Every structure is written in structure tokens, then in C-alpha cells.
Amino acid sequence: MPRRCGVRGWIRGSTMQRHNVEVGDIVLWYDHADRNYNPNPAIVTAIGLNDCLCLNVFDPTRFNTVIYDGVRHIDDPEVKREEIKLAGGWDYKPKNKPYPVPPPDEDLPKPAKKGG
């Protein structure tokens, strides 16, 4: 049976969409669920109802990871409640975009020949 998460538990009838996140994924954690703070990487250690996450957050100012339970997605409307903000907010990490493939050599302009 899934356990309840967050300070007040899960919200019945939430309209928030399900997120594609699994245990072991790395996400970004924002202090006070505010994107103006610098994000810290975090590992998802548990998923509760309505996609509340338990995160092990890597804080560069501390020796060990910090555990936050009941962390909601930063775009979740419930994250605006003050008691839920204390757990912070999570967001997906930016995807690693592959570098564009350079054009083949024949498409590149030829250097001008010197002299005759």
C-alpha cells in the first residue's frame, strides 16, 4: 500500500498530471520551491501518491546528503502552500542535448588557393 507523503498528506482529486520519474532518477531540487534559488542535484529514493518524492539532496555546503520527504513538482499548484514549500520543489534536470552533426566535407567552402 502506498504511503502518504508531505506534511498534510496527499490531496484527493488532484488535477496535477503524473510525472515520468522513477526511483534512482536524478532530479533538481529547489529550496522553498523557488526557481530563483540555485538548484541542487538529488536522487529519487521513494515515490508517494500524487508524485510526492523522497529525495536525497546533494548540498555542496554539507558533508552528507540531506533527506527531504514529500517534495512536490515545482509546477504543482499545491507547492504554493507554505507548509509544503518547506520541503522544496523538484524539477527535471536539463536533458543532455547532442552536439549538432557537422556537415560533410564536400559541403564546406574550399579555401582559396594562393599564388598561381
What is the per-residue pLDDT for 79?
80
Residue 18 within a domain: no
The domain total for the chain is: 1
What is the per-residue pLDDT for 18?
66
What is the per-residue pLDDT for 96?
38
Residue 88 within a domain: yes
Q: What is the pTM of this model?
A: 0.66
Residue 39 within a domain: yes
What is the per-residue pLDDT for 102?
60
pLDDT tens per residue, the chain (116 residues)?
344 444 333 344 444 556 788 899 999 999 999 999 999 999 999 998 777 899 999 998 889 999 999 999 888 888 888 878 889 999 888 763 344 556 566 656 667 777 65
Residue 6 within a domain: no
Q: Which residue has the cell 582559396?
A: 112
Residue 21 within a domain: no
What is the per-residue pLDDT for 55?
95
Residue 99 within a domain: no
Residue 115 within a domain: no
Domain membership of residue 85 as a residue range: 26-92
What is the per-residue pLDDT for 77?
84
Residue 20 within a domain: no
